[in-house]
Amino acid sequence: MKRFLAVTLGILTAIGGFVDIGDLVANSETGARFGMRLAWVVVVGVIGICLYAEMSGRVAAVSGRPVFDLVRERLGARVALANLAGSYLVTLLTLSAEIGGVALAIELATSVHYLLWVPIAAFVLWVVLWKVKFEPMERVFGLAGLALVVFVVALIALDPPWAQLGQQVTSPVPPATEDWGTYGFFAVALFAAAMTPYEVFFFSSGGVEEKWTSRDLAISRVNVFVGFPLGGVLSLAVMGCAAVVYEPLQAQVDTLGQTALPVAMALGKLGLVVVILGFFAATFGAALETGLSAGYTVAQYFGWQWGKLVRPRQAARFHTVVLISVLLGVALLLTTADPIAITEYSLVFSAVALPLTYLPILIVANDRDYLGDEVNSPLTNVLGVTYLVIILVAAIAAVPLMILTGMGS
């Protein structure tokens, strides 16, 4: 029974934990502009993150090595240092965006300008990172993030023209109002929102900290293969709500309030309360994950003691990096940079940084010296190499598409 409960909780946590500010922004923007014509990208992204998280979870459980440790071990000190610089910057941008998301969610609830909430949110974030135990932290925010299921309820309550949405899903071409450039740009952004590297840094480091062994592989797999796809369903519901409400009006979504509005239209004030709670939990949970991941990448590159299992004074360098990262994230927001714009940039650069983080895991997941008989199956390898190609294409296309389309505008 206890085991069953652990699995259920893990799945629920994965669902709530999958959606963050990047998914909320990218999915509702694309829904408003492209209807459901880019829904397939979410599916491709969810399969990708399942594959990547399963491999890195398996490597962490069997060999005890988290992702960024292996990045340096396989790519060498120099290439890995370039990767560290890129991955750290992307994680920092994402952290900043999530803190902004928390503040925007509180603004929605209080009507007090978000910039006033940024320092408070960041301080509470840091206290939680400093004091609270790993598991309750993950559970509380993962479960509260499930409030975003309200988007599924709202979509059904809006009683959309299902046939028309279905037709958009099966016609993956830009609508008359858009061109292939913006279509490609938003495809890359959506893919990056689903396959964010920090999720995998966090997942594999958490596995090492919780001292997973080969026996925990089954639980890890169930969490990944059930939790992430259900999280993908939430993403699609966010997209669907925006598609139903905004696409016919040709309206653009560029605030978090607009993302929430379809729920309020369908379900009234109560729906709005639930959706704001969901925004808060999802962004706060993701801020915790990105804050820790910023520390993980640096500490694991240099081989420092890291993590929350030891007293903070025994991992002074790790905790210093986490603290500085939160401060830098706040500083970026206090320049009055728009959190939604920060989110968009973080998605583009996250697509660029992904290949060099994915490749070492794919290779080590095939290494018998590390994994013994738990190496990739032939099917996993076919998928793994296919995704390497997809990830490479997205990485190469990201910056040119960003420049050509002017961030998709």
Partner 1 sequence: MTNEVLRVDFDLLDRQIVDLDGHPVGKVDDVEFGTTADGRPFVAAILVGHHALGERIGGRLGRWMAAVARRLHTTGDPQPLRIPFERVAEIGSAIRLDVRHELLNTPALELWLRDNVIGRIPGASDAGQ
Partner 2 sequence: MLASDLLGRPVRDRDGKPLGRVADLLTEPDEHGRQRVVRVLVTPRRRGRLLGFERPGIQRPWLLERISSLLHRGTREVPWEDIDWSAE
Binding site for partner 2 (CB under 8 A): 74-76, 79, 362-363, 366-369, 375-376, 381, 384-385, 388
Q: Which does 172 bind (CB under 5 to 8 A by kind): partner 1, partner 2, none?
A: none
320 touches, from partner 2, partner 1, none (C-beta below 5 to 8 Å by class): partner 1
Q: Which is nearer to partner 2, 159 or 369 (CB)?
A: 369
For residue 363, the partner it binds in partner 1, partner 2, none, with Cβ less than 5 to 8 A by kind, is partner 2
Q: Find the part of the chain contacting partner 1 (CB under 8 A) among 4-12, 167-175, 297-305, 394-402.
A: 297-305
Distance in Å, CB of 366 to partner 2, minimum? 4
Label residue 291 exposed, middle or buried (CB < 10 Å: 0-12, 13-18, 19+): buried
Cβ 392 vs Cβ 195: under 8 Å: no
Query: What is the chain's length?
Result: 409
28, 39, 155 from 150: Cα distances, Å = 15, 19, 8
Contact partner at residue 64 from partner 1, partner 2, none, CB < 5 to 8 Å by partner kind: partner 1
The DSSP annotation for 185-246 comes to HHHHHHHHHHS-HHHHHHHHHHHHHTT--GGGHHHHHHIIIIIHHHHHHHHHHHHHHHHHHH
Interface with partner 1 includes 130 (CB under 8 A)?
yes
Partner whose binding site includes residue 375, from partner 2, partner 1, none (CB under 5 to 8 Å by kind): partner 2
Which residues, 303 to 322, sit near partner 1 by CB under 8 A? 303-306, 308-314, 316-317, 319-320
How far is the C-alpha of 401 from the C-alpha of 180, rounded, in Å? 10
Q: How far is the CB of 131 from partner 1 (least distance, A)?
A: 6
Q: Is the Cβ of residue 171 or residue 386 nearer to partner 2 in the bound state?
A: 386
Tell me the two tokens of residue 144: 């509260």
For partner 2, the closer of residues 203 and 370 by Cβ is 370
What is residue 299's three-state secondary structure? helix
Among partner 2, partner 1, none, partner that 376 touches (CB below 5 to 8 angstroms by kind):
partner 2
Q: Which stretch binds partner 1 (CB under 8 A): 62-70, 176-184, 235-243, 376-384?
A: 62-70
Q: How far is the CB of 74 from partner 2 (least distance, A)?
A: 6
DSSP 179: -
Number of residues that bind partner 1 (CB under 8 A): 37
| Contact (Cβ atoms closer than 8 angstroms) between residue 115 and residue 333 | yes
How many helices, marked H, and strands, marked E, lie in the chain?
Answer: 18, 0
Binding status of residue 221 toward partner 1 by CB under 8 A:
no
Structure tokens at 178: 């858009």
User: Which span sits near partner 1 by CB under 8 A: 21-29, 76-84, 327-335, 387-395?
Assistant: 76-84
Please say which residue, 264 or 363, places its beta carbon nearer to partner 2.
Answer: 363
Nearest to 56 by CA among 234, 48, 11: 48
* Cα(262)–Cα(280) distance, integer angstroms: 17
Question: Is residue 73 near partner 1 by the rule CB under 8 A?
Answer: yes
